[in-house]
Amino acid sequence: MKRQTPIFRGAASALVTPMAPDGSVDFDSFGRIIDWQIAEGINALVIAGTSGEGSTLSDEEHRAVLEYAVKRSAGRVPVIAGTGSNDTAYAIDLTKCACRVGCDAMLVVTPYYNKATQKGLIKMYSAIADASDKPVILYNVPSRTGVNIEPSTYLALSEHPMICGIKEANGNISKIVETFSLVGDKLDIYSGNDDQIVPILAMGGCGVISVLSDIMPAKTAEMCRLWFEGDHAGSIKLQCDLLPLINALFCEVNPIPVKAASAAMGLCGDYIRLPLTKMEPQNEAVLRKLMAAQGLL
């Protein structure tokens, strides 16, 4: 039976990648966001994932933001690198780079567009994990990639010594329960949906890889901490109280709303790369109202 110390317990922020008006990476804002997140008590940082627009970063940019985040974090919290791709060879190359620059773990999404069979997923993830000298977290988000990791596939992959966890964003609680029944003692399971943090904690999950925590790191980490400390009622109350804001953060394609929210808080500019566009004004008005109600504006 495989079990290791989790990469983190609690909340990890799936950080946005700040950009300048000309579309280049805004490293000054990125550094300030990293420092603020850590000061607010976040438990880990995820770099160049979905929220970080990893799929539209150039190869040079992708490697640069990983290296910068490691240096800026300076060992204060774990840094988890988004290294997934629909090109397995490229994912392996990015994973090796992330290991070299000192990232603490990899977050590897299922292949998008070309998709894969379950056999293909096992072969792909095994090849990436074979190339990594740091732990690998599997990232399942079928609404974006068109492919779902089945519980039986998690079981097969749990035998790999470098595969340590799951970011589960399939939204299907029944499947998630099945996954816990098969690998809950072998893999650390994190919610990939902010509206399911407490349900996954209740099953024995280790926390969340969060978009909400981009703008509310302290409260998101507190939701997890309260659960771990046995204050289940307090954790549930936070989940319910923050649900309207969570829903607003996903009323358009992520990271459109969280980029707008981050800009409204002065954390970075509201610049996002095509094919994503800025948030629709009517939706942003609702988001800002809910943010104001939480004291963020």
Question: Where do the H-state alpha helices sit in the chain?
Answer: 27-39, 59-73, 88-101, 118-131, 142-145, 151-157, 173-183, 197-202, 217-228, 232-241, 243-249, 256-264, 281-293
Taking the C-alpha atoms of residue 200 and residue 180, their distance in angstroms, rounded to an integer, is 9
Give the catalytic positions in this structure: 139, 167
Write the CB contacts of 4 (distance below 8 Å, at least 6 apart in sequence).
Answer: 135, 164
Phi-psi region of 295 (alpha: psi -120 to 50; beta: other; left: phi over 0): left
Phi-psi region of 162 (alpha: psi -120 to 50; beta: other; left: phi over 0): alpha
Count Cβ neighbours within 10 Å for each residue of 169-194 and write b for 16 or more, e otherwise. bbeeeebbeebbebbbebbbbbbbbb
